[in-house]
Amino acid sequence: MNTLSILKPSAFLIILLVVASQSFVSVTKATVGQSEAASALTNAEDTLNQAYQAISQAEESGANVTSLLVRLNEAGQLLARGQLAYDSGDFDSALRFTNQSQENLNGFITDANTLRETAIRESYLDFLINVVGPVFGAVGVFCVGFFVWFFLKRKYEKVGKMV
């Protein structure tokens, strides 16, 4: 038997398997991409909801959350683009937009909590300055006035006895 006659069918079979395996790999890759994009979208939505709750709590405390609202809006727009890309079947773009949204929200909750704590401290300080301070000031003026009156009364009593 000729080795060339055996190699031709073997080479044809190897080439056929290589081409067929490429199509199977791409189908598998698309399925993994879809599930990965879906998982990333779900995680990004959860993160966006947590960020919204954190910014809501910071705003209730009286914090200035304008800069955080801008970041939250940008992250929401990126997430919406990711959802649209996912719905159209472009899983790579969906994953890219979703990851950008997540990156935009890195440290967001920490920043919101810091603003909330700062606002709480400032409101406490304002309370001390605007309520407690005047009360102590009034009590201090009363006490100083009483002592001045008391010492002046004693001085006039001594002066009156000497004359």
pLDDT digits (tens, 9 = 90+) for 137-151: 888 888 998 888 888
Domain segments of the chain: what residues?
21-135
Question: Percent of the chain at pLDDT above 70?
Answer: 79
pLDDT digits (tens, 9 = 90+) for 73-96: 999 999 999 999 999 998 999 999
C-alpha distances out from residue 116 to 66, 92, 112, 163, Å: 13, 37, 6, 69
Lowest mean pLDDT among 22-26, 57-61, 80-84, 132-136: 22-26
Residue with tokens 């006490």: 143
In whole numbers, what is the pLDDT of the chain averaged over residues?
80
| Model confidence, pTM | 0.61
Alpha helix (H) residue ranges in 61-132: 66-87, 91-104, 108-127
Nearest to 119 by CA among 69, 55, 49: 55
Q: Which fold has domain 21-135?
A: Butyryl-CoA Dehydrogenase, subunit A; domain 3 (1.20.140)
Query: Distance (Å, rounded) from C-alpha 88 to C-alpha 17?
Result: 31
Residue with tokens 């990851």: 99
Nearest to 106 by CA among 32, 34, 48, 42: 48
